[in-house]
Every structure is written in structure tokens, then in C-alpha cells.
Structure 1
Amino acid sequence: MDKICKRILQKIEIQDFFDRICSLNTADFNSILLKLFSLRTAKSTPQKVLHTFRENRFVAPSSFDPIKLHQLELELLSMTSKAGITNKLLSPVAPIGSCSVFGCVNQNNVLSAVRNVEVLSDPSNILAIMLSNDILNNQIDHTRCTHYATTTRVVRGQKWEGENQYAHFGIFCIVSTAQDKGSYLCEKELLKHHLQFYDNLIQTRYHRKMTIVLRRRTGYTAYEDFFEKMYSATKEMFPDTPISVVLDSENNNYYKGINFKIYMQKDNEQIEIGDGGFVDWISKMTGSKKNRCLISGLGLERLLLL
């Protein structure tokens, strides 16, 4: 238990306070949170609200041009639609634990809210949840590749330093799924679709060529063989694209088998555009190890700065 929580328990003199609260059912837990927020806001004033706006980094408006950002979103979503990818418009909130339960992020770096939700911090997880739900409801043909994409703003708890760094920012992402076909055919098909999209984006918008960096990850039983197959397939798909590899087989509880980074050359500098890789989220939610999932994404503000 951290020092802050220990201090709070000493102040209220209820040492098992957190255990008692967490043992409540969801409805009662939310009722308590609603009551607490109601009591707190009842003591607030318009001046205090203004003070919070001035001091709270989570509510500070971005300095980026909203017209340019929304034009970029329209361009990206138009490209995904032409590429056979289904676009989704997400809610600004997600089920509580949508990131932390999968080991992606500490819950303290997410803005948790009442009514069993949290402020959206990663649209990739939500698209994977939507795909899992559609698989279990037989709403998609899972023998074929299915791709969902979105653009949205997210909020994260980490404190970013530097110019143009905000607690909220725009993200574009693609999440794809299909059933294992053997010989890594499914993974090759999913990877090809994602990389082709980013190759087309860089050529169409910036008239440049992309560079790919592939990093080996654990998570597959024969992860070394899997990585070699993916590397060979990528070279075959993009024979004129510079491809480098990183063989540090790091297990980061996120990507499985492989993850990739997309770069673009600008002014003698390699600029990172986006990244992606395979995850096991859909297989966990659907209870089938045959269900593959590939995610990728990029930051919208980063593209606007190029």
C-alpha cells in the first residue's frame, strides 16, 4: 500500500476501509461514488470551477488547429474505407479496466469514472472488445479477416513534458482479427493489410517511402520461428522497402511474437509514424486460442507536425 493510502486510513481510522468498499457489488459501489461526488460538488462554486480549469492539466485545450486535425481524420477514415476496413465511431468512455485488465497499462494512468466506466485511453482495446462481441454474436464471418478502424481523442494519466504535450490527444488505429489457418497464413494476411495501409498513407500524403523495423517478441510457442516467417513474408511483400530487425526477445505483456514500427525519412531524419503488433486480447475474450488479433496505430498530432 502506498504512503498516501496509509495516511488516509490513519486519518479516517478505518484500517479495512478499502477492503470493505471493494467487497460491495457494482451497483452499491457506484452509488457510493455518486454520493461522494455529489457531496464534493455541492461545496463547489463557479470560481472554484474556473480555478480547476486553470490548474488541471487534463482539461487544458490543445493548441492544434481543430480544422486541420478533423481534416486529417477524414482523410484517414476515407483511406480505411477504400481499403475495406470498417470505420467505427466510439464512445468517449470505455468499460472500467479495458486497458489494465489486459496488462496494457496501470489503472492509475487511466481516468476512472463512476457507473463502471473509464475515460477512453486506448481505442485499440475497445475495437478488440467490439470484434470479440461480434464474433461471439456471430455477426462477422470469422473465417475471413475483419478490420475495424477509428479516430478518437484519448486521455492518459502520465504527465508528458515538452512543447505540444497534453494529457489528451488524437489517435488513429486499426484492429484486425481472423481465425488461425495454420502455417501463419492468418498472421501474414493481417500483417500485409496493415503495412499496405501505412505504405499507401506515407506515399499518398507525404510522397515518401516508409521504413519498417520489426522487433521479435515472446508470446508464441515457437516465437523465433514465427518471427522468421513474418520477417520473410514482410520482405516478400515489400521488396523495395528498407526493413531492419531487433532480436531482443522482450516479453512486455503486450505484443506477442512480433511488433513493428513504421518510419518515414524527413530532412535526413527517421521520423516514427506508428507502430503495431499481435496481441492475445480477442483470444482471451472469446476463449479461443485460434482467434488472432493485430493492432496498429499512430498519433494524429504527430502527423500534423510533419
Structure 2
Amino acid sequence: MSTILDRILVQIGDQKIIDKLLSLSKADLNSLLLELFEKQTDKFTPVDVLKAYQVNRFSTPSDIDPAKFHALETQLLTAAQKMDMQTVLLSPSAPFGSCSVFGCVDQYNVVSALRGTETLSDPSNMMAIIIADRLKRKTESNTPPLHYATTARAVRAQALSGKGFFAHFGLFCMVSSGKDIGSYACEKELLKKHLNFYKELLQEHFNAKLSIVLRKRGGYTDGDGFFDKMTTVVQTAFPDTPLSFDYDDVDNKYYQGINFQIYMETEHEKMMIGDGGFVDWICQMLGSKKERCLISGIGLDRLLLFSE
């Protein structure tokens, strides 16, 4: 229990109040919280709203030029469509727990909301949920694999500082879904699809080249064999692309088997703009070990800063 929470429980005088609230149904808890927020805003004045804005990093606007930002979104989505990817316009809200339930991020680092929602913090999770829903309802099939892409403004609660880090930021994400057909054939196809997109994007639109860092992760029974096969795929499909390796933090459980970092290189500068890897989210949602899912994404704000 955190020191802050401990202090609050002492002030309320009921150490079991959290357990009591959790015993309520989701609908009743939501109604209670709605009433609480209603009572809070009854006390607010316009001056209070201005003061809240001045100290709240989540609601202040970005310094990024909006015209350049939306032009970049259009550029990326158009490029994705040309590579036969389905593009999706996401809601700014996601189902409550859409990241933390998969073990991707602590719920404290997500801006939680009411009515069973949270502020969108990772578009790749949301697209995986959409794909899983469509597969379960049989409105889509992932044989051959499905490829989705989107851009979105995401909000995260952890405080990060430095150039290119914001409380809210733009992301371009791709999520691919397929079925295991043996010999890691599905994984090979998905990996080549994503890396080829980024290579062509940087070459054609930014006069830059792609470089890749491959990072080994757990999650596959034949971890060494899987990593070696994915390495061979990258070396064979992208022989002129600089490739390096990072074997630290192998037990990181966000990605399965492999994680790739995407770097943008120009004549004068090199910067990491995104990453990707295999995840088991659709497998968990559908209860099928045959499901394969590759996600990747790049930061739009960082890409614009790099291009200045």
C-alpha cells in the first residue's frame, strides 16, 4: 500500500473501504463515482478550471505544428493503404484495463476514466482488441494474415522528461494477425511486412535509412532457435540494412521471442523512432495457441522533431 493511500484511509477512518467498494458491481461503482465527481464539480468555478488547466500536464496543448502533424498522419496512413493494410480511426477512449490486463503497463500509468473506459494509451492494444473481436464474430479471417494500421493521440500518466517526450503524443501503429502454420512461417511473413514498411517509408519520404536493433525475449519454447530464425529473415530480406543486437533484459515479458527497435538515420543524426515485436494478446483473448500477432509503432512527435 502506498504512503498516500495509507494516509487517505487513516483520514477516512475505514481501512476496509477499498474492499467494500470493490464488492460493488461495476455498474454500482460507476454510479457512485459519477455522483462523487458531480458533487466535486458543483464546487468548481471557471477560475478553478483555469487553475486546473495551468497545472495539469495532460490537458496542455503540444508544441508540435498541427498542420505538419496531420499531414504526417495522412502520409503514413496513405502509405499503409498502398501496402494493403486496413486503416482504422480509433476512439480516444479504450476499454478499462485494455493495457494493464495484458501485463503491458501498470494501471497507475494509464489515465483511468468512468463508464468502463480509460483514455487511450496504446493504439496497438486497441487494434488487437478490435481484431480479436472481429475474429471471434467471424466477420474477419486471419488466413491469410490481417494487417491493420492507425494513427492516434495517446496519453500516458508516467512523467517523462527530455526532448521528444510528452504526456500526450502521436503514434502510428501497425498490428498484424495470423495463424501458426509451422516452421515460424507466419512470424517470418509478419516481420518482413512491418520492417519493409518502415524501410520504404524512411527512404521515400524522409531521405533516411532504416537501422534495426534486434532484442531477444522469452515466450517461445525454442527461444534460441526462434531468435536465430528471425535474425536470418532480417539479414536475408534486408541485406543492406544496418543490424545490431541487444541481449540485455531477456526476461522482459512485454514482447514474445523478439523485439526490434527502429532507428532513423540521416547523414548527420540517428534516433530511435519506434519499436515492435510479437505479443500474445489475441492468443489470450481468443484462447487459442495458434494465434500470432505482431505489433509495431513509431512516435509521430519524435519523427517531426527529428525532421526539423
Identify the TM-score tier after normalising by the shorter chain: over 0.9
TM-score by length of 1: 0.98
Return the offset for 1:20.
0.4
The separation in 1 between residues aligned to 2:305 and 2:225, in whole angstroms, is 38
Q: In structure 2, give the amino acid aligned to 1:139.
A: T
In structure 1, the residue matched to 2:121 is: 121
- Percent of pairs identical after alignment? 53
Is the 1:63–1:164 Cα contact (8 Å) retained in structure 2?
no
2:212/2:241 contact within 8 Å kept: yes
Contact 1:217 1:248 in 2 (8 A): no
* Runs of 4+ displaced beyond 4 Å: none
Amino acid at match of 2:254: Y
Q: Distance in 2 between matches of 1:165 and 1:53?
A: 19
- Equivalent runs, 1:154-233 vs 2, <5 Å: 154-163=154-163, 165-233=165-233
Contact 1:263–1:273, Cα closer than 8 Å, also in 2 = yes
Distance (Å, rounded) in 1 between the aligned partners of 2:10 and 2:231: 56
Q: What is the one-letter code of the residue matched to 1:197?
A: F
What corresponds to 2:65 in structure 1?
65
CA contact (8 A) 1:218 1:249 kept: no
After TM superposition, give the deviation of residue 16 of structure 1 in Å: 0.5
Cα contact 1:214–1:243 (8 A) shared by 2:
yes
How far 1:154 sits from its partner (Å)? Answer: 0.7
The one-character-per-residue Cα deviations of 1:29-78 (angstroms, maximum 9, x if unpaired) are 10011000000000000000011011111111111110000000000000
Structure 1 pair 227–249 and aligned structure 2 pair: CA distance change class (3 A): farther
Bigger CA drift: 261-270 or 96-105? Answer: 261-270
Q: Deviations over 1:190-218 (max 9, x none)?
A: 00100000001110112222111111111
Structure 2 CA distance for partners of 1:51 and 1:248, relative to 1, 3 Å: closer
In the alignment, the residues of structure 2 paired with residue 302 and residue 162 of structure 1 have an alpha-carbon distance, to the nearest angstrom, of: 11
Query: 1:80 is paired with a residue of what secondary structure?
Result: helix
Task: State how far apart, in whole Å, the 2-side matches of 1:241 and 1:67 are.
Answer: 32
Contact 1:254 1:279 in 2 (8 A): yes
Amino acid aligned to 1:157: A
Q: Distance in 2 between matches of 1:117 and 1:139?
A: 24
Q: Which residue of 2 aligns with 1:135?
A: 135
Once the two structures are TM-superposed, the CA of residue 305 in structure 1 deviates from its matched residue by 1.1
Distance (Å, rounded) in 1 between the aligned partners of 2:273 and 2:7: 44
Cα gap change, 1:269 to 1:49, in 2 (>3 Å): same
**Contact map agreement 1:128 1:281 (CA 8 A) in 2:** yes
Q: In the alignment, what sits opposite 1:96?
A: 96
In structure 2, C-alpha distance between the alignment counterparts of 1:52 and 1:149, rounded to whole Å = 35
Letter in 2 for 1:85: M
The alignment of Structure 1 onto Structure 2 pairs a total of residues equal to 306
* 1:35 alignment counterpart: 35
1:226 is matched by which residue type in structure 2? Answer: F
Cα distance, 1:23 vs structure 2: 1.0
Q: Mark the runs of 5 or more structure 1 residues left unpaired by the alignment.
A: none
CA distance, structure 2, for counterparts of residue 277 and residue 9 of structure 1: 41
- Deviations along 1:222-259, one digit per CA (max 9) or x if unpaired, are 01100000001111111111111223361212000001
Q: Distance in 2 between matches of 1:209 and 1:239?
A: 13
User: What secondary structure does 1:250 align onto?
Assistant: coil
In the aligned structure 1, how far is the partner of 2:248 from the partner of 2:17? 44
Distance 2:103 2:46 in 1: 39
Deviation at 1:163, TM superposition (A): 4.5
1:23 corresponding residue in structure 2: 23
Query: What is residue 78 of structure 1 aligned with on the other side?
Result: 78
Query: Using the alignment, how far apart are the partners of 2:174 and 2:248 within structure 1?
Result: 26
| Contact 2:199/2:209 (<8 A) preserved | yes
Distance 1:273 1:161, change over 3 A: closer
Inter-CA distance 136–302: structure 2 relative to 1 (3 Å threshold): same
In the alignment, the residues of structure 2 paired with residue 249 and residue 13 of structure 1 have an alpha-carbon distance, to the nearest angstrom, of 43
Q: What is aligned with 1:54?
A: 54
CA distance in 2, matches of 1:201, 1:286: 33
Root-mean-square deviation (Å): 1.1
Matching residue of 1:259: 259
- Report the residue type matching 1:31 in the other structure: S
**In structure 2, C-alpha distance between the alignment counterparts of 1:37 and 1:172, rounded to whole Å:** 34
The two structures have a TM-score, normalised by structure 2, of 0.97
Task: Return the letter of the residue paired with 2:153.
Answer: R
